[in-house]
Structure 1
Amino acid sequence: MPLNIACFGQPGSYTYEAMKSYFAGKNISPAYGSHFEDVVQAVATRQARYGVLPIENSSTGGITDVYDLIHRYDCCVVGEKYVKVEHCLLTLPGTKLEDIREVYSHPQGLNQCRSYLKHHGEWQLHPYFSTSQSAEQVQKMEDPHIAAIANKTAADMYGLDVLVEHINDNTMNYTRFFIIAADMEQSPEADKITLVLTTQHRPGALYHVLGYFFYNGMNMTHLESRPLKGRPFEYFFHIDVMGNLRNPATSRVLRNLAEHCNYFKILGNYVSDQGGNVDEIRRHRG
C-alpha cells in the first residue's frame, strides 16, 4: 500500500523535489496543498501519513508560519531534507526578455531574487501560492508578457523555456524541509532533536536555558523565536539540537531543562540530512 504524502505546492516545486528525494525508492501517493495549513491539517487529521513543508531558507531565514502551524496542530517532526535552490526566469517558448511585463512567484522566490528584479523595476511582481504554481499560471495564461520564477523541473513539467538561469541573489541558497507526522517516530540512528519551550519571564532566563546545551556538550544548530499569543514580548523558542533521546545523558539533560521552563515539548528526534547538499554547504563554509 502506498504512503499517503501531503506536499506543499504541486509537482515541480522545491518541496516536490524534497519529497521525491526523501522518499526515494518508496511507493508514495502524493496529494498537493496550496497553503501550508492544508498540509499540516492533512497530517493532523491522518488523511496523510506524512507531510513535507519548507521550514527555513539560508537566505531569508525561518518560515515562521510553518513553525506556528506544526505547534498549533500538535504535529511531530520525523525527518528533514535540504534542497539547493536555483531560481530561473521561466517564460512561454519564444518569449524575449524585453517582452516581459509581469512576474509570478512565491513570496520567498521573489525575495530571494531581489537584486535581479531591481534591474527590471518596470516589471509588476505577483506573489503567488508556490513557484511551481507560478509556472503553471504562465502556461495557462498563454501570455508572452508574463514570466515565472521557479526551477528547471517546473519548466520541463509545464512546457516553459528557461530564459535566464541562476537569478537568485545567493548562489549558495538552500531550503531545509521538515517531514512531519501525527505521531513521533524514533530510530537508533536519530541524531537531531527539535523542541519548543517557553522560559520563565525574568532576566537571563534564555541564557540559562542555552547553558544546558553548552555545558553538556550538545550542539545547538538552530534557534527560532515566535511570539506567545496574548502575551506581549514573550516568546516560544523552537530549538534544534544534536542528540538521541535513547542516550541516557541526553534524556537527563532535557528532563532537567524542562523543569526550568514554563512550557517544554519535544517535537521530534530524527536522522539529520547528511551528504549531498549538506556536504556542499559545509565545504563552502570551510
Structure 2
Amino acid sequence: MPELDLGEIRTRIDNIDKELVKLLEERMIIVEDVIEYKAANNMKIFDAKREEEVIKKNIDRVKEKKLKKYIEKMLNDIMSVSKEYQETKIFKIKDNNFNADFKGKKMGYTGVPGSFGHEVLLNLVDEKHSEIKKYSTHEEVAEAVARGEIDYGVIPIENSSTGEVRDSIDLIKEKDIYIVGEISHKIKQNLLGVKGSRIENIKNVYSHEQALMQCSKFLKEHSDWNSIACSNTAIAAEFIKKEDNNENACIANIKTKNIYDLELLAEGINNNKENYTRFIIISKSMKISEKSNKISIVTTIEHKAGSLFKLIEIFSKENLNMVSIKSRPIPNKAWEYYFYIDFEGNLNDENVIRAFENIKVQMSYMKILGNYRSDIKI
C-alpha cells in the first residue's frame, strides 16, 4: 500500500469543498425562483411529499451503503436550510386592515362544547354561528387552518400559573400559519362527577395535563386519587358522563356541568385564583392593522458565546420592549435552540423595520409568526 500524504489528501478535500460551495450557492439561487413561485401562488413553504421524494431519490444514488445514513443526514440539513431561507424571504401581508370581525367565517377550536377554547370562541362569535368546527387536538386545528378548511382557529398558548402549552408554540412555526389575535381568558377549574356522586367516592380524576397542574394543591390533599390526563377538559367531562361511574370525576369548566348533566363536587379548585390562559387566533395568512401592537417571531442564533446578547441588544438599541423570550430545542441538533420572542410594536414602525434588518444580517434564521392586537376585548 502506498504511503499516504496528508497534505495531498487535504488538498483533494479542499477541491471537493470548493465545488460543493459553488453548487450549494447555485442551489440557493435556484431556491429564490421557488420562493417567487410559492409567494405568487400562495403556497406553503414546507411540502413533506416533495422533500421525502428528493431525499429518497438522492439516497438511492449513493453507491457505498455504509455512507447512506451519513449522506441522508447531510441532505436533511440542506433541506432544512432551504426551508429556513424560504421563510426569511416569503413575507406577504394579505390583509393590512384587519378588524377582528369573524362574522360569517369558518371557525375551529379544540375539544367539545364546554371546553375553555369553545368558550373563548363564543366570545368572538355568537352561539348561533353555524360555521364552528371542533377538533381533537391543537395540531388538528392548526392543520385545518393551514389547508383552508377553516378561516380561523383558537388554541391556548400559555397559562399564567403553569406556563406555555408545549405543542401550541411549535405549531405556528411548523404549520406555516400566523397569529392574528390574542385573548386572555380567566380560568376557573372545578371538580365534577356524575349525578349522585360524592367527593368521598372519587378514585379517578380526568382532565387536561395543564388543568391537573393548575389544581395540584387540591389534588395533593387527595393523594389516593389517580390523576389521568386527557386531551381536553371538556372531553374529560364527556368521558365521565359516558362511563357513568361514581368513582370518576373530572376537572373542567363549570359550563360542562349543565352540558353533560354532571354534579358539582368542588368549585374553584385551581391553585391561583387569578388564573388566566392566553389563547391565540390563528390564520393561514398574515393580517395586521394600525391597532396591531404585538409581534411574535422565531429565530436562531450562532452556537457561541455572546450570540444571545447580540440578539437582545438589537431590541434594546431600537427601544423595543421584549415581553417574552422562550427557547425550544431544534430537532436533530443537540443543545441548539430556537428562540421565540414576543415584543411590542407594529410591522410598519421604523424601529421594527430596522430591528428586522439587523436580525436578518446577524442571526442565522428568522420568521415572523404574527403582528396582532394583544388581548382582544370582545
TM-score (normalised: structure 1): 0.92
Match of 1:166 in 2: 268
Please say if residues 5 and 28 of structure 1, whose CA atoms lie closer than 8 Å, have aligned partners that are also in contact.
Answer: no
C-alpha RMSD of matched pairs (Å): 1.7
Aligned to 2:161: 59
Asked which structure has the greater RCO (Cα within 8 Å, sep 6+), the reply is: 1
User: Measured at CA, do residues 28 and 81 of structure 1 come closer, stay the same or move farther in structure 2, by a change above 3 Å?
Assistant: farther
1:55 deviates by 0.4
Q: Cα 1:209–1:38, aligned 2, differ >3 Å: closer, same or farther?
A: same
Secondary structure, counterpart of 2:109 in structure 1: strand
Q: Residues 197-208 of structure 1: matches in 2 within 5 Å?
A: 197-208=299-310
Larger proportion of strand: 1
Cα-to-partner distance string for 1:125-179 (whole Å, 9 max, x where unaligned)? 2111100011111111111111100011111211112210111111111110111
Structure 1's 25 and 11: CA in aligned 2 closer, same or farther, altered over 3 A? Answer: closer
Q: Does 1:230 align with 2:340?
A: no
**Is 1:116 aligned to 2:218, yes or no?**
yes
Is the contact between residue 138 and residue 155 of structure 2 (CA under 8 Å) also seen in structure 1? yes
CA distance in 1, matches of 2:260, 2:321: 43
1:125 paired with 2:227, answer yes
**What's the counterpart of residue 281 of structure 1?**
none
Call closer, same or farther: CA 1:26–1:243 in 2, change over 3 Å: farther
Alpha-carbon spacing, 1:193–1:28, altered in 2? closer, same or farther (3 Å): farther
Matches within 5 A, 1:70-219: 70-219=172-321
Change (3 A) 1:79 1:28: farther
Q: Give the partner amino acid of 2:300.
A: T
Structure 2: tracts of 5 or more residues without a match: 1-102
Is 1:221 the counterpart of 2:314 in the alignment?
no
Identity fraction in percent? 38
Letter in 1 for 2:234: S
1:77 counterpart letter in structure 2: I
**Which residue identity does 2:104 align to in structure 1?**
P
Q: Is the 8 A contact 2:181 2:376 kept in 1?
A: no
The farther-off stretch of 137-146 and 184-193 is 137-146
Secondary structure of 1:143's match? coil
Return the alpha-carbon distance in structure 1 between the equivalents of residues 317 and 125 of structure 2: 37
One-letter amino acid of the structure 2 residue matched with residue 109 of structure 1: A
Normalised by the length of structure 2, the TM-score is: 0.70
SS in 2 for 1:65: helix
Alpha-carbon separation, structure 2, partners of 1:79 and 1:88: 28
The Cα shift of 1:28 comes to 5.5
Q: 2:122 aligns with which of 20, 27, 37?
A: 20
Q: What is the count of residue pairs matched by the alignment?
A: 276
Structure 1 residue runs of 4 or more that deviate by more than 4 Å after TM superposition? 24-28
Q: Determine the C-alpha separation between the residues in 2 that align with 1:216 and 1:152.
A: 45
Q: Distance in 1 between matches of 2:298 and 2:318?
A: 19
Gaps of 5+ in 1: 277-286
Q: Of Structure 1 and Structure 2, which has the larger fraction of its residues in helix?
A: 2
232-241 vs 9-18, greater mean Cα deviation? 9-18
What does residue 261 of structure 1 align with? Answer: 363
Residues 11-39 of structure 1: per-residue CA shift (max 9 Å, x gap): 11111122122345994511111112111
Cα distance in 2 between the residues matched to 1:230 and 1:146: 41
Q: Is the CA contact (8 Å cut-off) linking 2:183 and 2:377 kept in structure 1?
A: no
CA contact (8 A) 1:18 1:82 kept: no
Report the alpha carbon displacement of residue 93 of structure 1 after superposing the two structures with TM.
2.3
Question: How far off its partner does 1:248 sit?
Answer: 2.1
Moved more, 215-224 or 96-105: 215-224
SS of residue in 2 equivalent to 1:3: coil
Deviation at 1:192, TM superposition (A): 0.4
What's the CA shift for 1:185? Answer: 0.4
Q: Between Structure 1 and Structure 2, whose CA radius of gyration is higher?
A: 2
1:258 Cα deviation from its structure 2 partner: 2.0
State whether residues 82 and 174 of structure 1, in contact with CA within 8 Å, keep that contact through their aligned partners in structure 2: yes
Contact 1:116/1:169 (8 A) holds in 2: yes
Instruction: List aligned pairs for 1:41-56, cutoff 5 A.
Output: 41-56=143-158
Q: Which moved more, 1:17-26 or 1:202-211?
A: 17-26
> Quick one: distance in 2 between partners of 1:221 and 1:24?
32
Structure 2 partner of 1:279: none
The answer (yes or no) to whether the contact 1:15–1:54 under 8 Å persists in 2 is: yes
